Structure 1
């Protein structure tokens, strides 16, 4: 099989698929006759072939997919002018905390935000398949540890958490929240990246939003944290 035929097969499979396809599944198209490195090389060539098109081939958390380019969004939105209900800012800030500080407990999130987090917010993020429980902290009460999912990466167009942008100013914090808001809609939005190759430092604090208090909705002031024995 020549390169052109192999690329055409990959292209067809990816366009017709409703979900991202990992390399291991793409190898099945060729009865495993092509190795993973060969498949990846062909995918990179396909990316270059589509550079001048309205679609782009990207690698996300669970595989490869075609998606519309960000600059096409305004035009595509005209086909579906009605937007689904937006997530509250409190929910998106909670999601941002989980993304940057994972794994975290609900108590960790409340300590960072300074308010008690409504249990419905966590459930909403779990129902969206953006966060999940990955274990429990070995302390009093064994609280659940939350982390983001591959679906979270897919919806933001990221291949890994290392591609999350650094946040060291309120403006960048707001840009992140806006990107999460867009990703909650029917179309995936690319996350703005100031430094796509730099991972966020593990001890980086989430920048508080000065307007958060007005958007927190059902959240209530957090009770003082008790020390673990």
Structure 2
């Protein structure tokens, strides 16, 4: 699907921009490229604004992509579905591993990656463990660095998982998993050691968090 060129800046509700018309592969390829890097479900209006086309074109592209991933090529016989699928969840769209392959993905995440966690990952995991449920933005504020890639790594390792959204901002929240407790040899989060003794002059992590803003 190729966007029609038009003057002006795309807002997601108006005409397609010249830049959108020049995209290789058209709107559908552009939508797919963005979906490959999002960390949270992307709303059609946001995708339309970024790509510079009307929201209706984005919705059409999303529908086509979902059908393609499910094995429908349009007019021809149904083929085998891809190992991933496109879902409309929480007001946005995101690519997920297909549920049929969950055992394979779980084995890879839990057993196929034996490398030790980096210092950055360990620090991020500690913040999430003590402040859960917590958003990436809050973790970034506490650590003073961007933690997007580290959070993705922890999710892939099965150590943390989505825990709903923050009411005030709509940001995804994260919490630790039973696998996290298993790896640390803990029965519950109550068994986590007190952190105050390791932060001289601070009574708890909440106070530490406040000093980062």
State the TM-score, normalizing by the size of structure 2.
0.40
Higher relative contact order, structure no. (Cα contacts within 8 Å, ≥ 6 residues apart): 1
State the TM-score, normalizing by the size of structure 1.
0.38
